[in-house]
Amino acid sequence: MTRRRLSKGLLAWALLTLLAGLGAYARAHVSAAEPPPQAAVTWALAVLDAAAQGHAPEAAPASASAYRPDAPVYIVGWSHGAAIYRLRHEGLATAVAQAASELRARPDAGSLKFTLSVSLGSGPMTLGVPWLSELGLVPRRDGLELRFGDDVAFLTPDELMADGDFDPGAIEPMPELSFGVRVGALSRRLAGDLGRDPADAPRGDLRRFVAVTYSDDVYPRDRPATEANLLEAAHAGAAFLLRHQGSDGRYVYEYDGATGLPRNSGYNLPRHAGTTYFLAQEARVAGDEAARLGARRALGYIEQHLIRHCGAPERLCVADSPRADVGASALTAVAAAEYLRGRNDVGVRRLLEGLMTFLRAQQRPDGEMMHEFDLAAGQPIDVQYLYYSGEAAYALLLAYDALHDARDLEAAKRVMAHLTGSGWDFLGSRYYYGAEHWTCIAAGVGRDEVDSPEALDFCGRWADWNANLQYRDGETAWHVTGSFGVSPFIAPRFTPVGSRSEAFIATYRLFKARGQSTEQLRPMIERGMESLMRWQWRPGPTHLLADPAGAEGGFPGSPLELLVRNDYVQHSGSALLAWVEVLREERGASSDGQAASDIARPGAAGAAGAAGAPLSP
């Protein structure tokens, strides 16, 4: 092929791609109308609540009567997270009047919570085209309608949320990354709701509608990153965990907000230990005695059921299978050391001493950790997994602070040298990073004992890299400023906000100790703190929760799910408390003449951070 023919071919391909993109945009784009005035919304919700109690409605204000009389309005009444009452009607004032009339006649209406969804516009859906159909619905914002003539079936955004239809894994490009909505299955469901054969769905008019939804719940709720707000959020998270802890010390592993039921399959020992670490932090930082007792119960569960001897009588490890792993043992040590920072306990001290003997024996000559131990063979297994070496480094440093054993400090220095040096040295290692939060948490906590230029440089570069992944205002369809992600089409996970924020706070302390600028780190941290508090269930979307009181304080995994896992709460709560400690330190330092610019200014720094010098020194 000649160069000229190749150029023509590439130009034709580019033109076809552009035309196809413009065609898809023209078909899918919806020009959203203005939402109703707040006075009209306030009236509508008040009328629905009054009608549910059997009272006559107030007359509609002019703002409600005049608002887009042809706009579809969807009113849903919820009970324990289930949609019990549903109405679609055109016109805000007429829809509310119709609902009020029907609700006054329902004996169960008094217990309902209401959502009011107003369509701001609609557009056709494309079925059968890979990716176009699965990505054609914007989660939390779009609803779905199927029409056959005058017959219409619908699902509001909140109904799709309640049923777990957003982000269920319609597209799975790689392990642990799934997104997209199964629009085909939903269209068949809507056909069935109309009494038709689900196979008839492609013959109907399937449309998405862009909705704005109102309820008495204010969720997500913005809160500035003040010390008081941080403490309240951490306390609510600890109370959630304690509410779902058994008398034997085990936690509910996953809590399903949609059903109010626990899920304990696949119970994870490192996450049990990490959750215990957070409760011990809450006890020390906030003086929470209930959290201290909960942490001790959880450590007692490990002592009674999971402690093994790994290679020698004095080497204690944590295992529930023929192989012990360093992660469970290291995080149990972290929890034990944190517990000892707040109170002496002979049993916990002995547990920590035995765990550290085991961890030191798992270290290779180059500083790396061997991550498994074969109990039957009595031998380490030299394999490596995510997180474990960083967790071990953190355990060694916290244990040194509690036990003052120089062997722990020496082992910590060696593993940190490996993690921030040769352990992350390959082509492209300056441009890509893994999950390094435990590594940099360890670097921060060891700032007084480990003088490591490599750790300072590594954690600065890692934070700099993450700064480019942190969402700013308006970058996605969701209010997720402060979260991390790589696309406006994929909802972020909140657990990385907690774990990375923990590491950024530790790096912030490390930078200050080494005289480095924290100008870029502080707004990153504050955005993260505000993101965590924004999406915490306090009280959350109570109409979608089967048991709002039981769910109070939980941190969901993402904006699109109603599931709380115990480590979601742990990482979020640990980050909140770590920043509380920094604010306290700086408040104390400020009385000794520290510059006012170095003191927390909630709300002021949140707008900064997008520009300026890189974080790495």
Give the three-class secondary structure for 137: coil
Do residues 540 and 534 make contact, with C-beta atoms less than 8 angstroms apart? no
Query: For 304-309, what is the mean pLDDT?
Result: 98
Query: Percent of the chain, pLDDT > 70?
Result: 88
Average pLDDT over residues 129-143: 84
Residue 168 has pLDDT above 50, yes or no: yes
Q: What pLDDT does 424 receive?
A: 63
pLDDT at 4 over 80: no
Least confident of 5-19, 192-206, 388-402, 513-527: 5-19
Is it the case that residue 609 has pLDDT exceeding 50?
A: no
5 neighbors 11 (Cβ within 8 angstroms): no
User: Is pLDDT at 425 greater than 70 in this prediction?
Assistant: no
- CA gap 523, 465 in Å, rounded: 15
- pLDDT above 50 for 602: no
Residue 14, pLDDT score: 62
Mean pLDDT of the chain: 90
Q: How many CB atoms lie within 10 A of CB 611?
A: 6
The predicted-structure confidence for 72-105, as pLDDT tens digits, reads as follows 999 999 999 999 999 999 999 999 999 999 999 9
pLDDT band at 127, cuts 50/70/90? Answer: confident
249-305 confidence digits (pLDDT tens): 999 999 999 999 999 899 999 999 999 999 999 999 999 999 999 999 999 999 999
Q: Which residues contact 260 (CB under 8 A, 6 or more apart)?
A: 80, 81, 545, 546, 547, 550, 551
The per-residue pLDDT for 171 is: 73
Q: Which two tokens stand for residue 431?
A: 């441009």
Return the H-helix or E-strand segment holding 336. helix 326-342
pLDDT in tens, 324-364: 999 999 999 999 999 999 889 999 999 999 999 999 999 99
For tokens 């894994």, the residue is: 169
Q: pLDDT value at position 430?
A: 63
Q: At what angle do helices 453-467 and 437-445 cross, to 10 degrees?
A: 130
Q: What is the crossing angle of helices 521-535 and 453-467, to 10°? A: 60
Q: What is the value of pTM for the model shown?
A: 0.90
Helices assigned H by DSSP within 362-488:
388-403, 406-420, 437-445, 453-467
Domains of the chain: 28-215 (3.30.1490.150), 227-607 (1.50.10.10)
Determine the average pLDDT of the residues in 130-152. 90
In tens, the pLDDT along 535-574 reads 999 999 999 999 999 999 999 999 999 999 999 999 999 9
The C-alpha atoms of residue 4 and residue 2 are separated, in whole angstroms, by: 5
Range 44-59 average pLDDT: 94
- Rounded CA-CA distance 142/477 in Å is 10
Q: Please, which contacts does 593-601 make with residues 24 or more away whose CB atoms are closer than 8 Å?
A: 598/518, 600/225, 600/226, 600/227, 600/526
Phi-psi region of 395 (alpha: psi -120 to 50; beta: other; left: phi over 0): alpha
Tell me what the mean pLDDT of segment 498-526 comes to. 97
> Are 482 and 585 in contact, with CB atoms under 8 Å apart?
no
The pLDDT of residue 11: 67
- Mean pLDDT for the stretch of residues 366-370: 97
Q: What is the mean pLDDT of residues 181-206?
A: 94
CA distance 567 to 529: 17
d(Cα 84, Cα 69) in Å, to the nearest integer?
26
**Residue 179 pLDDT > 70:** yes
CA distances from 612 to 91, 519, 552 (A): 49, 8, 39
**Closest-CA residue to 95 (of 156, 147, 148, 137):** 156
Show the tokens assigned to 15. 């033109």
What does the DSSP 8-state code read for residue 16? H
